[in-house]
Each structure stands twice: as structure tokens, then as C-alpha cells.
């Protein structure tokens, strides 16, 4: 009887939690990395107190209509931060004399819908704040944070106050910032070490691959001419339905179990040798990262805490603050010369 009661209670608690945001596994304050100088958690409290609510409620509707917007926005923030810091340079469109970062090969699968959502948020925030108060870099940060939450991931707070940069990174720099999907753990660790991230950050942030899609060409070297020895044979057969030969133009879900939910199933994929990219599966093959993969696969709250920690860390890479840079009035173009805020 007592046993039955307690299991009924458990069911009750679990179902309440899934209804109430309050019960969401949130990182506790102690889990946050140090805050970069010039950023703060209440940055827009006076200048635009509704900023965070506006971003959240816009994305709630937009992601309900298009669940692919969530991975799109998360990847956009990642691509911004990995190249010369989180300065919204990824959003600048080409000019007569320079190519944009969006022209470099790693931009592939940056979704146009994500760029459109940023422009819509820019307009909504400007209406509410009486002008360009919230930077484009902060819009990217908030949009990624809310995307994670809105498809089932952790609730966490992000420090704000980033400023927008004026320089577009050169194509070679963009290419160099992103390790190819064929990378081994040595190459992945070297790439993230350059921007102050470690092995735990790499394993946790790669968990973003619980969402979204990849083109066949990012992994078809694992299928042809023969199946990669670290890939489960049934998974390979499944992938060949989407990618029947080398260099086809199809895409497939990255997380085969729950492609549209932010959860820890990506790590279960890796344990089952059903990771999509080489750069995913090697995290389980390599002794330096395997332990954490195993841990996240069995402990979703632990993954959520570590993911939130590493996202906040990533969101503070080489940020500009204070009077550096500007607040762009159009996220795609620099403010007119001399007209910076």
C-alpha cells in the first residue's frame, strides 16, 4: 500500500513538473561560470525591462510553427561566438568590398528562418525599448537560450550587455574556427582550447546535436565506400535510405531517437554507436571524453547543468562591452559611420 502510494505520488510529482516551468531542472547559481567584465544578469532591467519576455514570447509562437527554428538559432549563436567572439559579426551581410561570414563554407545549414527571426526580434525590441537598446549579440544569446528551453531543455539565465562588432572575420578565419565533422578528439580539443573551452565543454556543447539536421556530405565518408567500423550496422542501413550514394543532397536528423526534443538521447545514440558525425561518435570512442558521454547518457539533469554552464561560458567568449562597438539598428549592417550608439 505504502509502496503504491509513493509510486502514485511519484507519478503526480513527475506530471506536475512537466506542466510547471517551476520544476524544470535549472542550473543552480553555483553552476554558473564567472561573469565577464561589463556583462550582468540584470543589464536591461532599467533600459528595457521587457526585453527577455519579448524574446521568449515571440519564440514560443515561432518555434511552435517551425521547430527547426530552435536548432537554427542555437547554431547561429555558436557560429557567432566561435569566430572573434559573440559580437553578432555572423549577421553582417556582404558589402561591395567584403564577403560576409555567411559566405564562408561553415555557414552551411545556417537557416534563413533563423536570420529572419533575429530581424523580427530587432523590430519588436526596438518598439518596446524606444529604439535600439538591446544589442544584436544579446538577441542571438537570448534566442539560443530560449530555443533550448522551448524544445525541452534546461532553463538558465544569461548575463547580458554584449556590444556589436564592426568587423567581418576573413573567410580563412571562419574556416579555421570550425573543426570539420571528420575531426578526431585531438583536433576537436585543439579547436575549442583556442577559445578557452575544455573537454567537458566540448562534450556538453556537442549535446546541442540532440536537435537539427545535417547534410549527407557531412558524414557520408562513414558510409561509402564502406561503413565506418565504429558505426552500428542497422544505423548505417537506416542512413542509406536518406543518403543512398556519396555526395547526394539530402539531409537527415542528427539525433536519430528524438530529433526535435532537447534531451540527453544524443549521448544514448553515441553509446549505441549511432552517432551521426565522426566528430560525435569519437567522443565515445576516445578515452578522454568517453566518461562524460556515459554520464550524460544516464543522467539528464547532470547534462542539463553542464550544458547550461558551458553555454554561458561560450556566450562570453571575447565579448565587447561598455562603450566598445555599437548597438546595431539593423543586425545585418553596421550603423552609419559616426552614428554608433
Ligand X SMILES: *[C@@H]1O[C@H](CO)[C@@H](O)[C@H](O)[C@H]1NC(C)=O
Active site residues: 79
Within 99-128, the residues that bind ligand X by CB under 6 A are 102-103, 107, 110, 112
Nearer to ligand X, 233 or 241 (CB): 241
Any idea which residue has 531543455 for its cell? 153
For residue 25, give the C-alpha cell: 531542472
CB of 58 to ligand X, least distance (A): 16
Residue 236, interface with ligand X (CB under 6 A)?
Answer: no
Nearer to ligand X, 34 or 225 (CB): 225
- Give the chain's radius of gyration (CA, Å): 21
Distance from C-alpha of 119 to C-alpha of 101, rounded to nearest angstrom:
17
**Residue spans of alpha helices (H) in 47-170:** 51-65, 69-82, 112-129, 136-150
From the list ligand X, ligand HEM, none, partner contacted by residue 332 (C-beta under 5 to 8 A by kind): ligand X
For residue 34, CA distances in Å to 11, 197, 208, 313 come to 37, 14, 22, 8
Nearer to ligand X, 102 or 312 (CB): 102
The C-alpha angle with vertex 19 and arms to 65 and 297, in degrees rounded to 5, equals 85
Within 96-155, the residues that bind ligand HEM by CB under 6 A are 108-109, 111
* 189 three-state secondary structure: helix
Distance from C-alpha of 266 to C-alpha of 251, rounded to nearest angstrom:
17
CB of 110 to ligand HEM, least distance (A): 7
CB of 286 to ligand X, least distance (A): 9
From the list ligand HEM, ligand X, none, partner contacted by residue 103 (C-beta under 5 to 8 A by kind): ligand X
Residue 9, interface with ligand X (CB under 6 A)?
Answer: no
Residue 230, interface with ligand X (CB under 6 A)?
Answer: no
Within 58-77, the residues that bind ligand HEM by CB under 6 A are 71-72, 74-75
Q: Where are the beta strands (DSSP E) in the chain?
A: 213-215, 251-253
Nearer to ligand X, 188 or 268 (CB): 188
Given a contact cutoff of 8 angstroms between Cβ atoms, the answer to whether 271 and 257 are in contact is no
- Give the footprint of ligand X on this chain (CB under 6 A): 93, 102-103, 107, 110, 112, 184, 186-187, 241-242, 244, 246-248, 250, 252, 330, 332-333
Amino acid at each position: 500500500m505504502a509502496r503504491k502510494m509513493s509510486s502514485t505520488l511519484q507519478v503526480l510529482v513527475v506530471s506536475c513538473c512537466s506542466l510547471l516551468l517551476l520544476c524544470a531542472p535549472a542550473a543552480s547559481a553555483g553552476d554558473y561560470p564567472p561573469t565577464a567584465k561589463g556583462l550582468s544578469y540584470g543589464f536591461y532591467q532599467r533600459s528595457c525591462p521587457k526585453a527577455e519576455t519579448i524574446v521568449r514570447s515571440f519564440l514560443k509562437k515561432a518555434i511552435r510553427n517551425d521547430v527547426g527554428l530552435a536548432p537554427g538559432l542555437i547554431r547561429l549563436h555558436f557560429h557567432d561566438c566561435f569566430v572573434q567572439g559573440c559580437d553578432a559579426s555572423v549577421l553582417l551581410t556582404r558589402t561591395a568590398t567584403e564577403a560576409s561570414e555567411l559566405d564562408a563554407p561553415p555557414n552551411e545549414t545556417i537557416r534563413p528562418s533563423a536570420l529572419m527571426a533575429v530581424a523580427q526580434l530587432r523590430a519588436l525590441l526596438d518598439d518596446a525599448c524606444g529604439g535600439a537598446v538591446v544589442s544584436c549579440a544579446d538577441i542571438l544569446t537570448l534566442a539560443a537560450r530560449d530555443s533550448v528551453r522551448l524544445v525541452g531543455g534546461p532553463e538558465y539565465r544569461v548575463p547580458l550587455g554584449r556590444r556589436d562588432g564592426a568587423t567581418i572575420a576573413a573567410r580563412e578565419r571562419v574556416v579555421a574556427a570550425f573543426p570539420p565533422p571528420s575531426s578526431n578528439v585531438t583536433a576537436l580539443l585543439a579547436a575549442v582550447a583556442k577559445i578557452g573551452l575544455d573537454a567537458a565543454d566540448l562534450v556538453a556543447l556537442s549535446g546541442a546535436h540532440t536537435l537539427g539536421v545535417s547534410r549527407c556530405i557531412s558524414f557520408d565518408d562513414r558510409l561509402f565506400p564502406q561503413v565506418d567500423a565504429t558505426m552500428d550496422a542497422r544505423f548505417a542501413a537506416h542512413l542509406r535510405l536518406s543518403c543512398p550514394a556519396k555526395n547526394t543532397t539530402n539531409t537527415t536528423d542528427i539525433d536519430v531517437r528524438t530529433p526535435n526534443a532537447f534531451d540527453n538521447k544524443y549521448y544514448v545514440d553515441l553509446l549505441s554507436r549511432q552517432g551521426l558525425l565522426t566528430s560525435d561518435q569519437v567522443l565515445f570512442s576516445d578515452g578522454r571524453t568517453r566518461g562524460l558521454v556515459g554520464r550524460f547518457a544516464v543522467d539528464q539533469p547532470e547534462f542539463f547543468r553542464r550544458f547550461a554552464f558551458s553555454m554561458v561560458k561560450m556566450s562570453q567568449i571575447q565579448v565587447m562591452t561598455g562603450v566598445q562597438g555599437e548597438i546595431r539598428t539593423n543586425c545585418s549592417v553596421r550603423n552609419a559611420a559616426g552614428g554608433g550608439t
